[in-house]
Structure 1
């Protein structure tokens, strides 16, 4: 999997956002605090000094880039890695977009432009849909996808599990986007998000086990015959 182009893009974006951070912090009064965390309703529940808050997104971009740069080097199943490249690229590009959106949400109010924080929630939903769309193309690996023990050892199990997981992730992403547009209070939004993510994670895992059980029984019956 070739990563040089995305790594350079990530580095350039991190530098651009760091410059944006220093310029924006210079416009603000000394001791100004900016939001760094919001609850499910989009209400600020944590703030940090302006420069620290503004440098958080570019720092996260560097961290994300480090992770995606290392994965291709340490993945034991190298022969399957290229098949999972679309998922890795979708995740990487999507997270770059999300970090940029976060940086603008934090910093643009200093210029009189307010981006509703729920825009980040909507962006998260779009990211989930993009990853879900790419997920069925992935192949067994230890760092990508729904890594159940039954799917890792059986390509057929992996493909079936990830077809289901991809659909569920796209539906989950759509649910997150809808939640981002609805005027829900924090408790309701949190409940919706927890339910959506629980279904997205648990159902494919159980399905993978059931697929393995069915195949094992079929193999046992065939041997008995």
Structure 2
């Protein structure tokens, strides 16, 4: 499967999201529930036209942006080196948006389910795939852990992304376990995600300082 085919799948998700909204529109109320609290209780609404257009338009815009990035990145050749993983990220993100959109429509059609748990499970899957992607990403300006230190050194980029990939996968697993804890499930996602972000930033700085000072023995073999 090539890039064009993978992007066709992503475009298919955008189209499905739009078509589901069009077909369901006559049966939906004038205002749709579009937000839930941590306990899965609806707490905000949006007008039907805006709610039905928002996700397909967002997905289409992101798809266009992702298509442009490999052309405009100054290190575009590095993106090409992990292009299949990049393309599947695009597919998963558009699929995620389509899932959320269909979930909103289903809920407003009267189907009863815990929307918050659905989103958390989907985000856990997204995070796990990001963990896979990060271990393959080469240095570029748009995808990955982009700190001043990772962008300044291939060594720092590679080792930071190895760590980040493992932490994102761990966050995904913890998030899935959190689904068993009801209204507290969201904290099993947010806390590990925040800790992961903090650790990767601090580690990239620490590693860069070691490499610059020549005090990191592991760089001798890189």
State TM-score, norm by structure 2. 0.86
5 Å-filtered alignment, 1:166-205, equals 166-184=165-183, 188-189=184-185, 191-205=187-201
1:113 aligns with 2:111: yes
Offset, 1:77: 0.8
| Equivalent residues, number | 215
Partner Cα distance (1:157, 1:81) in 2: 17
Partner Cα distance (1:114, 1:99) in 2: 20
Q: Give the gaps of 5 or more residues in structure 2.
A: 218-222
Offset, 1:79: 2.4
Partner of 1:161: 160
Partner of 1:11: 11
**After alignment, is 84-93 or 151-160 more displaced?**
84-93
1:89 aligns with 2:104: no
5 Å-filtered alignment, 1:11-160, equals 11-29=11-29, 31=30, 33-109=31-107, 112-117=110-115, 118-160=117-159
**C-alpha contact (below 8 Å) 1:123/1:177 kept by paired residues:** no
**C-alpha contact (below 8 Å) 2:33/2:108 kept by paired residues:** no
State TM-score, norm by structure 1. 0.84
Offset, 1:196: 1.5
Q: Given the superposition, is the C-alpha separation of residues 111 and 36 from structure 1 closer, same or farther in structure 2, using an over 3 Å criterion?
A: closer
Offset, 1:146: 0.4
Aligned-pair Cα RMSD in Å: 2.4
**C-alpha contact (below 8 Å) 2:14/2:59 kept by paired residues:** yes
**C-alpha contact (below 8 Å) 1:132/1:170 kept by paired residues:** yes
SS at match of 2:182: coil
**C-alpha contact (below 8 Å) 1:75/1:143 kept by paired residues:** yes
Offset, 1:190: 5.1
Partner Cα distance (2:156, 2:108) in 1: 51
Q: Give the gaps of 5 or more residues in structure 1.
A: none
Partner Cα distance (1:191, 1:62) in 2: 30
1:161-218 CA-partner distances (Å, limit 9, x unpaired): 000000011111222222334212xxx4554443212111111111111111112222
Partner Cα distance (1:40, 1:3) in 2: 38
**C-alpha contact (below 8 Å) 1:161/1:207 kept by paired residues:** yes
